[in-house]
Amino acid sequence: MLKSVRRSLGLGLFVCAASAFVAPAVHAQTEQQKLVSAADATLTKFLRDPDMTWLQQNIGRAKAVLVAPEIAKAGFIFGGSGGHAVLVAHGAKSGKWVGPAFYSMATASVGFQAGISVSETVTLVMTDKALDSLLASSFRIGADASIAAGPVGAGAKSDVVADLIAFSRSKGIYGGVNLDGTVVKPNDDWNAAYYGKKALAPDILARASVHNKQADKLLANVAAATKKK
């Protein structure tokens, strides 16, 4: 009887210990898919917005698209902004959109910043230089590749030349956060958890050696938007 009790207790402790290791992975997977879904929702809003005609007409020229559903800016005197983003890329040989790869974004700034604001951004990666920089271990926007704010307004036809063209909106107001100086780094832990094995940004976006069917909706929406143009 005593052995049976001990065996039961041991099994219970094993299950609890196993759960302790499994739960974070499940939680991380949930958070990653939430980000993918939020990115899809943000991109869909921008693609349907009548004031985003330039983005809608030029997304087909992009090498990749970086979407950050939430970039929080907070602080007082010394502050900064940060958030998570996903990057999908257009395969030059296959002609298919692949990804996403997960990224972390952070920037520091000095100045009057009372309160907290949250922005959502869609950034078109227009050059191979910018895409190659994003595939590196760390990338500073503005230093490693140029960035410009995308034209906003119905019928916007301005010619914009930059490695990255960013569209940002904060609480329904265009302009949002300024990404110049932002450090963008691949989130290798999130990438590994999402794809079930070690997957670096080049594996996901250049070699397309991994795939998660939960991202198919996002990829399909990007592909549909680019085929129209």
Structural domain includes residue 82: yes
d(CA 210, CA 142): 30
> What pLDDT, on a 0 to 100 scale, did the predictor assign at position 155?
62
CA 165 vs. chain centroid, Å, equals: 15
Give the whole-angstrom CA distance, residue 158 versus residue 144.
Answer: 24
- Tell me, yes or no, whether 4 lies in a domain: no
Residue 2 lies in a domain: no
- What pLDDT does residue 115 have? 53
The distance of Cα 163 from the centroid of its chain, to the nearest Å, equals: 17
Q: Is residue 13 part of a domain?
A: no
In a domain, 23, yes or no: no
**Considering the domain boundaries, does residue 145 fall inside one?**
yes
What residues contact residue 52 under an 8 Å CB cut-off, 6+ apart? 46, 152, 167
Per-residue pLDDT of the chain (229 residues; tens, 9 = 90+): 434 434 443 434 333 333 333 334 444 457 999 999 999 999 999 999 998 999 999 999 999 999 999 887 665 555 556 789 999 999 877 889 999 999 998 876 555 455 556 789 999 999 999 999 999 988 888 888 899 988 887 666 677 889 999 998 886 666 666 787 888 999 999 999 999 999 999 999 999 999 999 999 999 999 999 986 5
Residue carrying the six token digits 């990653």: 32
pLDDT at 171: 67
pLDDT at 188: 95
**Which residues form the domain of 174?**
30-227
Number of domains composing the chain: 1
Contact present, 100 and 204 (Cβ < 8 Å): yes
Please give the radius of gyration of the chain, using alpha carbons only, rounded to the nearest integer. 20
Let me know if residue 86 belongs to a domain.
yes
Is residue 212 situated within a structural domain? yes
